[in-house]
Amino acid sequence: MFLLVKAAGKYWRMNYRFAEKQKTLALGVYPAVSLAKARKRRDEARELLADGVDPSQAKQDAKKSQNSAAMHTFQKIALEWLHKTATNRAASTQEKVTNWLNHDVFPFIGTKPISTVGPRDVLSTVQKMEERGAIDSAHRVKQICGQVFRYAVASGYAERDVTADLKGALAVPQKGHYAAITEPQQVGALLRSIHGYDGHPYARAALQLSPLVFVRPGELRGAEWSEIDLDAAEWRIPGHKMKMDADHIVPLSTQAVTILREIQPMSGHGKFVFPSIRTADRCMSENTVNAALRGLGYTKELMTAHGFRAMARTIMDEVLGERVDLIEHQLAHAVKDPNGRAYNRTAHLPARREMMQRWSDYLDSLKNGAKVISIRKS
């Protein structure tokens, strides 16, 4: 080891032989690198030589690795994963995952090289969501981060999925039913409130249609005009949008068709039945129907957008005496035939069509203040 003195400065150097060639290794610039530090680097180089490794090549490899790590940040890899796996998710889910990453993950660990992100980094990120009460979302985001890490491992950008170390670190979300009104008299009052809602026409139409079709909120807001045949009074939802990953048919009552025909002049030229008021390229926000209910005075403990499903399931069975298997079909739940095989999407379609019309007529009678029947006691 020696100190090379030039007009521009003083440089620590080490001469060595590797593969029968004379080489020189740069150890740093004096005085930024002290004599003690230069000697330490020399000793590390000697250890590499003893193991049959060229110190100069090892230094170049380390520099390349550092540059690669700096380029492959968590955000870059996450966006790459998001793009490549987009076809596996419904458009609404893709939007939700993108928003979670943009708002709750990237501001905290997005700029870090993914190879340097540790379990505590991820935990600190999702705990911020947990602290504001979004416990379910915190668990979902942890799972998403895990998927990004597994993609990074497969692509050679990370050694392992560090979220595996976080098992049990988050609060357990409380399981429970979505709040729903199931007493006919209260349903009548709700329907009258909905009839008087004076918000945006898209929100109004979605709110009016919710009890008539009782699909999941994400399925309703993601409805596309190409899926709906108003003349046939039928809405066919493709399987990739459904929770059970199977195509689903929603017979449309005359009341539902009327609502859709009223909104068609406004949104019929675009893709979505209920587009975002900011851009027609996206459907309305997942909070729109719930926000409309809050505006009508119905708290989340009393009624939710998802609660229209429970409302239909309870009253159609316990008040109207509709066949349970038809109700379950229309809720897009798994229903088996006597041989244990799943029914196809067209099973009992004529009977379901009649049931949906009876349901809409019954809701009209409640809204108009007709005498209601008490729910049978089990």
Note down pLDDT in tens along the chain; length 378 residues. 899 899 889 999 999 999 889 999 899 999 999 999 999 999 999 999 888 889 888 888 777 766 655 678 999 999 999 999 998 887 878 888 999 999 999 999 999 999 999 999 999 999 998 887 778 889 999 999 999 999 999 998 899 999 999 998 988 766 666 789 999 999 999 999 999 999 999 999 999 999 999 999 999 999 999 999 999 999 999 988 887 778 899 999 999 999 999 999 999 999 999 999 888 889 998 889 999 999 999 998 899 999 999 999 999 999 999 999 899 999 988 776 555 555 566 778 999 999 999 999 999 999 998 555 555 544
Give the Cα separation of 112 and 202 in Å (integer): 41
Mean residue pLDDT of the chain comes to 89
Is residue 103 flagged as an active site residue? no
The pLDDT value given to residue 378: 44
Residues 212-248: pLDDT tens digits? Answer: 999 999 999 999 999 999 999 999 999 888 877 788 9
Q: State the pTM of this model.
A: 0.57
Q: What pLDDT, on a 0 to 100 scale, did the predictor assign at position 153?
A: 95
> Do the beta carbons of residue 45 and residue 25 sit within 8 Å?
yes
Whether the CB-CB separation of 304 and 293 falls below 8 Å is answered with yes
Q: Which of 204, 306, 329, 367 is catalytic?
A: 306
What per-residue confidence (pLDDT) applies to 62? Answer: 74
Write the pLDDT tens digit of every residue in 164-173: 999 989 887 6
pLDDT at residue 83, as a whole number: 93
Tell me, yes or no, if 269 is annotated catalytic: no
State residue 288's pLDDT score: 92
pLDDT at 234: 97
Q: What is the pLDDT of residue 92?
A: 74
Marked catalytic residue, from 30, 343, 345, 348: 343
Report the C-alpha gap between 245 and 90 in whole angstroms. 10
Residue whose structure tokens are 């399981």: 175
Catalytic choice (42, 216, 221, 352): 216
Active-site residue identified among 243, 261, 300, 336: 243
Q: Return the pLDDT at 359.
A: 97
Catalytic, out of 309, 329, 352, 353: 309
pLDDT at 89: 83
Please indicate whether residue 89 is annotated as part of the active site: no
The pLDDT of residue 342: 57
Domains assigned to the chain: 2-70 (3.30.160.390), 74-166 (1.10.150.130), 184-367 (1.10.443.10)
333 classed as catalytic: yes
